[in-house]
Structure 1
C-alpha cells in the first residue's frame, strides 16, 4: 500500500510563538514576499470574503486572474545563479538524465548578465529567439524565470533610456506568440493556469504602451556637441554603426548627419559586412540613374537573409568538458590546452545545444 502521508524521516515543521499563538515557520518567507505583496494578498483575501456571494461573474474572474498573477509573480528560491553548467545529452553510468533548455536558462546567471553592457544584447536576442519558437518547451519554473528576466530587461531600458528599439521588437514577437497560443492553439500547450498567461499578455501590452510613449529628455549642455565635431569625425562615427536603422535615426539629428547618412559608400560597406556577394547579386536594386541603390539593397537583403551578429561578450562552450560558461568566470577544465577547446556560442547555437 503506498505511503501517502508526510515522510517520517523528515525533521518536521518548525514552529514559532507569536501573540496570536503558535504558527508554523516557513523558510524563505522573507525572500519570497515583501510588505507590498503581503498587503496585496490581504486585500485580495478581504475582497473574496466580502464578495463571496454577491460578486458578479466578471468581477470574480478578474479577482481570480489577479490572484493567479500574484502567485505567479512571487519570487522563487529554486533558481540557481551559476557561472557554468554541464551540458548532458544522454544518460551515462556517472550521470542520469539530460540537461534541458529550461534548466540551462534557470541555472545560468542571466539576471546579472543583463546589467553588463557587453552581454545585454546577447541576452535580449536569446530571449527573443525563445519567444519565437521555444516558449512552450520550457518548464513551468523556467517560464516563470523567463518572464522575471524579461521584466528586468524592460525596467533597465526604461531606467537607462537605452536600446528601446531592441525591446520593442522583442515584445512584438513575444506578444504575437502568446496571442497565437492563447487564441488559436489552445490551453493544452501552456503550462499553468490560463489566467496567468492572460495577465502576462496584458503586462506585455502595458510595456509596449510605455515604450511607445517613451521619449528621451533633452539635455542642455554648454560643452561641445556632436554638430561641433569636424566633418570627418562625424563620418567616422557613422561608419562604426552596424545597424542600418541606427544610421537612419542618427541622420535625423542634424542636416549634416543626414547628408553623411545618405552616402552610398557607407551603405555599400554595411551590405558587404552583413551579406555575401552572391546574396547581393540576387537582389540588385538600381536607382533611376541605373546606379546601385545600396541603402535600398540593405533593407531588402535583411528581409531575406539574417544579418551578421555582433556581441561584446558571449557564452563559451568547452568541447572537451561539454561545459557552458561565461568567459570571465571560466570553468574547471581538464584539457591540456583549454584555450583551443573553447568556442563562442551564439544565441541560436545556445538553443541548438538542447535539441535532442
Structure 2
C-alpha cells in the first residue's frame, strides 16, 4: 500500500507553505493563519533615527545662505559664511562636509580684518598645509594661498610683523610639499607649478614688507618715555628671544635693560610656554622624555636661548587665541565664539575647536 501524496508549496507536510513576516520567513499551514508579530523596538528606533537625520540634513542645507537644495560643493553663493552646517555622514541625497569645503565656505578671508581671529586663522592655515595639503582639492589649496596673501596685506597695513616668521615657515612647507609632489606625479605640472610660483611670490612679499611712514604728533609719547612699570610689563609680555633682541636694538635704553636682566626674561619665556616636565627635556631627543631636574637648573643666558629653541621644535610654542571656533554637537553647527548661536539655541555642551582640532575634525 502506497502512502498518500500531499500537494502543497512545501513538501514537509500537508497544506503548509512559507510565509514572509517581519521577523523573516516562517512555515504556516495556511495563508489565513499567519501570525502577525509586533514590530521590533530596535528596528523602529533605527527607522525613526534615519528619518530624523535625513530631514535634519535637508534643514541644514536650506538654512545655510544661498544653498536652497543645491549640493554644497556647487553652491557658490554659500561662501563667506560666519557659521557652517556640518554634515558628518553620507546620505543618499548629500555628501559629508570635507575640510576643503569648510576652508572655502567659512569666512576666513573676511575674518582676517578682526585682530582677535588673525593668529587663529594663520595657525589653521599652517596645520592644513603641514598635515593635509596633498589631500586637498585645487580650489582649497588656492583658498589657502588667498588667505596667506590677505594676511600679508593686513600685516603691512597694521605694521604688525609678529606673525611674519610663522607665515614664512608655512610657505616653506607649502613649497616643499608641492615640489616633492610634482616629482612623483606623471601628469601635467602646470597647475602645481603655478601654485609654487604664487607661494614664492608671497614669500618675497613677506620678506620685503614696507613699514608705512606715519607722521608723529608732537605730544605723542614714545616707548622710552613710558613709566618704568609699564616698560617692565612690556618686557615680561615678550614670548620669544627674537622679540627681546628686536626691542633691544630699537632703543639703547631697552638694550641696557635687556643686557642686565636677560636671564630673568629668558627664563620667564620658557616658563610661559612649557610645563616643568617639558622644560627638563630640552637636552633629550624628540622621542625621549623624563629628564632629571638638574638639566634645567642654573642655566646661562646662552643655554636658556638654546633651551627655548629646542623646546620650540620638540613641543611647540604655546598659543593663546582671543577668538576660536565652537562646534554645537546637537545642531551640528560650526561658528565663531564671538557670535551668537546661529539657531538661537542655548546650548551648553559646545566644543572648542582649535586650529589643530579643525584639521582632525573632518577626518
| TM-score (structure 1 length as normaliser) | 0.67
Question: For the structure 1 residues 290 and 209, does the alpha-carbon distance in structure 2 shift closer, same or farther, using more than 3 Å as the test?
Answer: closer
Give the distance between the partners of 1:92 and 1:322, measured in 2 at CA: 15
Structure 1 residue 110: deviation in Å? 0.8
| Greater RCO, CA 8 A, separation 6+ | 1
Give the distance between the partners of 2:167 and 2:244, measured in 1 at CA: 18
Give the distance between the partners of 1:128 and 1:135, measured in 2 at CA: 10
Return the match for 1:145 from 128, 143, 156.
143
Q: What secondary structure is seen at the aligned counterpart in 1 of 2:317?
A: coil
The unaligned stretches of length 5 or more in structure 2 are 1-74, 283-294
Q: How many pairs does the alignment contain? A: 271
Structure 1 residue 225: deviation in Å? 1.1
The unaligned stretches of length 5 or more in structure 1 are 1-75
| TM-score (structure 2 length as normaliser) | 0.66
Give the distance between the partners of 1:312 and 1:187, measured in 2 at CA: 45
Contact kept? 1:286, 1:293, Cα under 8 Å? no
Counterpart of 2:309 in structure 1 is: 299
Question: For the structure 1 residues 333 and 299, does the alpha-carbon distance in structure 2 shift closer, same or farther, using more than 3 Å as the test?
Answer: same
Aligned alpha-carbon RMSD (Å): 2.8
- Residue 343 (structure 1) aligned with residue 340 (structure 2): no
Q: What secondary structure is seen at the aligned counterpart in 2 of 1:325?
A: strand
Question: For the structure 1 residues 203 and 91, does the alpha-carbon distance in structure 2 shift closer, same or farther, using more than 3 Å as the test?
Answer: closer
Counterpart of 1:179 in structure 2 is: 179
Counterpart of 1:331 in structure 2 is: 341
Q: How does 1:219-234 map to 2 (within 5 A)?
A: 219=214, 221=216, 222=218, 223-234=220-231
Counterpart of 1:35 in structure 2 is: none
Return the match for 2:233 from 236, 241, 247.
236
Larger Rg: 2
Deviations 1:267-287 (A, max 9, x none): 222212211101112333577
Q: How does 1:37-56 map to 2 (within 5 A)?
A: none
Structure 1 residue 139: deviation in Å? 2.2
Question: For the structure 1 residues 255 and 279, does the alpha-carbon distance in structure 2 shift closer, same or farther, using more than 3 Å as the test?
Answer: same
Structure 1 residue 249: deviation in Å? 1.8
Contact kept? 2:327, 2:333, Cα under 8 Å? yes
Deviations 1:124-167 (A, max 9, x none): 11111111221222223323333332322223333333233333
Structure 1 residue 77: deviation in Å? 4.2
Contact kept? 1:264, 1:293, Cα under 8 Å? no
- Residue 256 (structure 1) aligned with residue 253 (structure 2): yes
Question: For the structure 1 residues 117 and 187, does the alpha-carbon distance in structure 2 shift closer, same or farther, using more than 3 Å as the test?
Answer: farther
Structure 1 residue 333: deviation in Å? 5.0
Question: For the structure 1 residues 117 and 236, does the alpha-carbon distance in structure 2 shift closer, same or farther, using more than 3 Å as the test?
Answer: same
- Residue 113 (structure 1) aligned with residue 108 (structure 2): no
Q: What secondary structure is seen at the aligned counterpart in 1 of 2:115?
A: coil
Contact kept? 1:317, 1:345, Cα under 8 Å? yes
